[in-house]
Structure 1
Amino acid sequence: MQGNHHHCWSTQYQLILGRRTDIFQEAASVLVLLKEATEQRELKKGKFLYAEAVNRGLLSTNVFLGSCFINLYAKCGALENAQEVFDELPLQNIVSWNALIAGYAKHGHYTKVLTCFNQMQRAGVLPDAMTFTCLLKACGNLRAVEKGSEVHIEIVKHGHLNTNLVLGNALIDMYAKCGALEKARMIFNELPTQNVVTWTTLIAGYCCHGEGEKALDLFKQMNHEGLPLDAVVLRCILKVCGSIAAVNEGKEVHAEIARKGFLNEDVTLGSALVDMYAKSGELVAAQEVFDELPVHNIVAWTALIAGYARDGQGERAHHCFKEMKCEGLFPNSVTLLCLLKACSNFGAADKGRMMHAEAIRQGFTGEDYIFGNALVDMYAKCGSPLNSYHVFFELHKRTVVAWTSLIAGYGQVGGHVIVFYLFNEMLREGIDPTSVTFLVLLHSCSSLGIMMEAQMYFEIMSKDYGITPSLDHYACMIHIFSQLGEFEKALSLIGKMPLLSNRLIVWSGVLFSCGKWGNLMLGNFAFDISV
């Protein structure tokens, strides 16, 4: 059937092309058919037309036609073909360069975008606004702020910034993605005009870099100026509200969405609402919004499951998972990560094993180190260090998170000798420990009552790895000294603690040990401080 279809349109194309004898008329006919193939992303038709154009010698004199073929191949994702057409052109102008660069940018080949631009400059072809837009997209996604700043200078030099709002928006986006938010705000303020995209881009930048309050203030200013609030900006601000638990502002956005009737039109807005309420701890509201959605997609389910998992309602999270499967939806990696976290939080090893089996069925393997880390952590926290080790052993990439989870798992069940062995193995593999790793080591030293090793770990933590001891590290060390009757060392360490630390916690530990060792004087002193 497909072969018949191919024969049908190829014959039709040949008939159309066969009517023309003049080379310009032939080129015009190819352009019409090529436009249709490009709009429909018909790669086979495009290749047929390209072969016809080459056979008829149309590309030897028509750079614009060649650029259109580059555009077709690029839009269809056939970038090698696009590059071949480009390389075979007798002349490359700004149109052909832009077609190739835009193709690489569209499909995420950002390094190639910069390479093409450098080649274009060496060829003496001057960039235009479209070139700069693609370059800024590449710089933003590569976090190449220095190169982006160079492009910014070129844009100003060519006088584009005051006349091209698309470029202005692209500049804001580039600086925002690179974390240069002050620079992004400066561009925003300097633009002669701003549209919804301008405002949304800066709001999204603040949100992505943890500046939720600034994002919310900017949204309020945007709303005050009467700009239309579309689904994109509303979705973005819901994310902001969820990140800073601004539930009152989130409810106002919810009311605006309901007033505009967006919930029945845009399922992603419904998912964003569920996520906002769930992250704000308003799980009743999250469930109500979810129940009212006309369609439940995987994003909405995952947001609800994550909310219950965060709130310690593991059983409810797993109930949602079962309901989701009944609706014929399969979990993605984020859903499974949330469920594994729920299992970890309430020690549900059986359910954790079910999630592990589900992950295998869905094709998540040891190559996904984030998921692997979560599995190691889940088994460790559920008191199954052997299962944790088996998962750990299968990981293609063993990060410090996985190592620390495994070490903590053995410490939790009293396998303190294995804790020290694994720590040394971790160092041998060139993995630097974290603050949490050292806390696990100190707890194992405390359980075994070994002071010298604890002192060694406490010392190298800051000396060799630059980790500043936290209150938990101090409390653990002071507990070790106190339980062994080394009260002078305990008091000396208390004196070295940061002034703002909550010392009541450590004095409570000293008080308990004073009773054990019969140190009444220090015990009375510790009691007075503790109460």
Structure 2
Amino acid sequence: MLSNFLSNTFKIQAIINKTLMKSKDIDNAMHLFSSITNKSNYMYTVMFKGLITNNMAEKVLDLFDEMKIEPDQFTLSTLFNACAVLNNNRAMKIGKELLAKIPENYRNDNITSTSAIDMLMKFGDVESAERIFRSMKTKNIITYGAMVKGYVGNEMFEKALDLFEQIHLSLTNAIYAIVFNACAKLCNDRAMKIGKKLLAKMPENYRNDNITSNSAIDMLMKFGDVESAERIFRSIKAKDIITYGAMVKGN
């Protein structure tokens, strides 16, 4: 019986995650989910992620209100993500209550803490995000990215560059794009120096990433360096509408 139950549960999880959520059949996913007697944190996380992907973050909070078990660090991270996406009064209340009650051992989990930072930055609560960031023993590049992006989102561009200059880890293409955006917004001597230096050091494989290249084009156009922007534009193999938009807007 136990073997059958586990087998059925895994099958249900697979159907919800790989079939119903991907085909946007939310009603049947919810119905199937409600048929599970002993719901695990993993099962809730699967549902929450599927709902967020389908732009139904409000339903995540509805489902969370019905939860009879304590969320683990993975479920908490997904809940923080839902609250960040919603960014309304209800989300702020639930997000901050969850954060206040978070077990101490989860605070050292990078995924959970990074999700909390992103959520707080979306709420405009920069001070609390900074407090969590400082308390983290081991910061990874995604954590730094959440902070830098948060500063940019809160129009604290100088702080974004201050923190960027403290990073001593390998940069991802997302970090390049975020810093290029910060430099474009500031558009002062410091921003021009950092932006151009960063662009010169950017690995070749990142140059084929449209988001990174589009951000670089936008930054260079803001700097008035049309020639360099055109050079990047010509080098992009598969140009999208945003690439063309960045060039047209810059010109």
Describe how 1:28-177 pairs up with structure 2 within 5 A: 62-72=8-18, 73-120=20-67, 124-143=68-87, 144-156=91-103, 159-162=105-108, 164-177=109-122
Assess if the C-alpha contact under 8 Å between 1:64 and 1:96 holds in 2. Answer: no
Pair member with larger Rg:
1
How many residues in Structure 1 have an aligned counterpart in Structure 2?
A: 244
Q: Which moved more, 1:139-148 or 1:196-205?
A: 139-148
Q: Report deviation, 1:23.
A: 10
CA gap of 1:255–1:304, structure 2 versus 1, over 3 A, is same
Q: Is the 8 A contact 1:101 1:134 kept in 2?
A: yes
| Superposition deviation, residue 152 in structure 1 | 0.6
Matches within 5 A, 1:290-309: 290-308=233-251
Structure 1 residues 512-527: aligned runs within 5 Å: none
Counterpart secondary structure, 2:208: coil
Tell me the distance in 1 between the aligned counterparts of 2:98 and 2:206: 40
Aligned partner of 1:380 in structure 2 is: none
Q: Which residue of structure 2 lines up, in the alignment, with residue 249 of structure 1?
A: 194
One-letter amino acid of the counterpart of residue 217, structure 1: D
- The CA distance in 1 between the partners of 2:39 and 2:52, in whole Å, is 19
Q: CA-atom RMSD, angstroms?
A: 2.3
Q: 2: CA distance between counterparts of 1:205 and 1:194?
A: 16
Distance (whole Å) between structure 1 residues aligned to residue 150 and residue 209 of structure 2: 23
Query: What's 1:228 paired with?
Result: 170
Runs of at least 5 residues in structure 1 that lack an aligned partner in the other structure: 1-21, 28-57, 309-531
Residue 179 of structure 1 is matched in structure 2 by 124
Aligned partners of 1:129 and 1:152: how far apart in 2?
A: 11
Deviation at 1:227, TM superposition (A): 0.4
Structure 2 portions without partners, runs of 5+:
none
**Residues 75 and 206 of structure 1, relative CA distance in 2, 3 Å threshold:** same
Q: Deviations over 1:123-143 (max 9, x none)?
A: x32211121111101111222
Residue of structure 1 in register with 2:220 after alignment: 277
Runs of 4+ aligned residues of structure 1 deviating over 4 Å after TM superposition are none
Judged with a 3 Å threshold, the aligned counterparts in structure 2 of structure 1 residues 264 and 278 are, in CA distance, closer, same or farther, namely closer
Q: Distance in 2 between matches of 1:131 and 1:171?
A: 12
Give 1:266-415 correspondences, 5 Å limit: 266-308=209-251
The 1:264–1:215 alpha-carbon spacing in structure 2 relative to 1, beyond 3 Å, is closer
Cα distance in structure 1, aligned partners of 2:126 and 2:48: 27
Contact 1:113 1:134 in 2 (8 A): no
Could you tell me whether the CA contact under 8 Å between 2:173 and 2:206 is conserved in 1? no
Amino acid at match of 2:227: V
Residue 187 of structure 1 and its aligned partner are, at CA, apart by 0.7
**Counterparts of 1:415-426 in structure 2 under 5 Å?**
none
After superposition, the Cα gap between the structure-2 partners of 1:101 and 1:268, relative to the gap in structure 1 and judged at 3 Å, is closer
The SS at the match of 2:238 is coil
Q: Please, which of 199, 213, 228 is the counterpart of residue 144 of structure 2?
A: 199
* Cα separation, partners in 2 of 1:263 and 1:97, compared to 1, 3 Å: closer
Relative distance call for 1:90 and 1:156 in structure 2 (3 A) is closer
TM-score (norm: length of structure 1): 0.43
Q: Percent identity over the alignment?
A: 27
Specify the alignment match of 2:179 in structure 1.
237
2:164 maps to a residue whose letter is F
CA distance 1:197–1:278, change in 2 (3 Å): same
